[in-house]
A and B are shown apart, each in its own frame.
Chain A
Amino acid sequence: MNRSEPPRIATWLLEHLMSADSNDALAGDLLESFRGGRSAGWYWRQVFAAIALKVLRSYRRHRFVILFATSWAMLSPAWGLILIRLQNEKDFGGFVWRIVWPWSTLCEIGLSTSMNFLFILAGVLIYAILLKSLFVPANLNRFGRRIAMSLGVFIAAMVCEIAIALLLRPLLSQPAGRGVDVRTLTLAGVIVNFGLWGITSRIPYLVGTACALWGAVPKTETSARVAE
């Protein structure tokens, strides 16, 4: 390793995981210290500590969003059950299967995704009402972009969840919903289901809601600005 160059992976992590405003000065300081005789181990420790601090600060800043998204995701199995019951009652399946393939599959995926995403949108609305009723001014810049991003994140998380469910099928007590008579399930019952499948199915809603609300933190917790 070149003595004047610090570990490349550590530098890459520092450049990509830290915010731009404080990153430059910190990266410069670490490089200056390294070239001044500090070891590669010291450099790695400093990078890990900086990233850990950044994660901790980000968590503290967004704790209200994380708390709300977690609570909201807890209710998501009830929404899933409502959708299944609606689907059975209104015979959406029959309507979809009358369409020619592949449009029938696309239509089914689109319908299912949008109906599930409605739950996240409802969460966003409740969060906004909650902040307004508590008279907490929030940063709502680029809110539309956040919603669009959360749809992408939600779909990606759903795909991951399905893949994980297929991989873990032998371990799941309720394999992908099969073998369960939905008529016997209650809304309260599915909400308090904290089995492996119950937890896994909540993750897309958790990340989707958190992503949509990520920027909407109370304005009182402002970040420091560099006076230039």
Chain B
Amino acid sequence: MKNRGYLGEFELLLLLAVIHLDEEAYGVPISRELERHRGKDVSVGSVYAALERLEAKGLVASSLGDPTPERGGKAKRFFRITREGLLQVHETRRVLTKLWHTIPDLKFEQ
């Protein structure tokens, strides 16, 4: 079996957002999705930086859409998860779930 690395927290969140958004996965909805779930502002630049890193690893692929006037004539860059990316998400989920099952319920202390 090919030796796979584990995904970082932000990388995992991004891949999950890309999977969830499917055909509509580009900068604005991805950032919005992350903000909605994390409850804090996300830098669109850091989203692109992380996605480019994932693309270099072959976990996502990107393609350019058509330029639109509401975006000042700039094209959208759509991302989609690759088969390798999907395998890594599942692997990370499996390991995390396994780890969570090994620890007792955590009580937050004030």
Residues of A within 8 A of B (CB): 22, 24-33, 35-36, 42, 45-46, 49-51, 53-54, 57, 222-228
Contacts and interface: CB of A to CB of B under 8 A. Distances in A.
Contact of B45 (A54, A223, A224): A54
B87 interface: no
Contacts, number: 87
B83 interface: no
30 contacts: A22-B48, A22-B52, A22-B77, A24-B74, A25-B64, A25-B74, A25-B77, A26-B44, A27-B74, A28-B74, A28-B75, A29-B28, A33-B44, A42-B41, A49-B45, A50-B43, A50-B44, A50-B45, A50-B48, A53-B45, A53-B46, A53-B49, A54-B45, A57-B49, A224-B52, A224-B55, A226-B55, A226-B77, A227-B61, A228-B64
Contacts of A32: 28, 70-71
Interface in B41-59: 41, 43-46, 48-49, 52-53, 55-56
A31 B46 contact: no
B63 interface: yes
A23 to B, nearest CB: 9
Interface in B66-106: 67-68, 70-72, 74-77
A144 B94 CA distance: 52
Contact of B27 (A29, A35, A53): A29
Contacts of A46: 43-45
Question: Would you call the interface of chain A mostly helix, strand, loop, or mixed?
Answer: helix
A35 B72 CA distance: 10
Contact of A30 (B44, B67, B77): B44
Given A24-B74, A227-B61, A33 B43 contact: no
A222 B56 contact: yes
A48 to B, nearest CB: 9
B8 to A, nearest CB: 16
B52 A28 contact: no
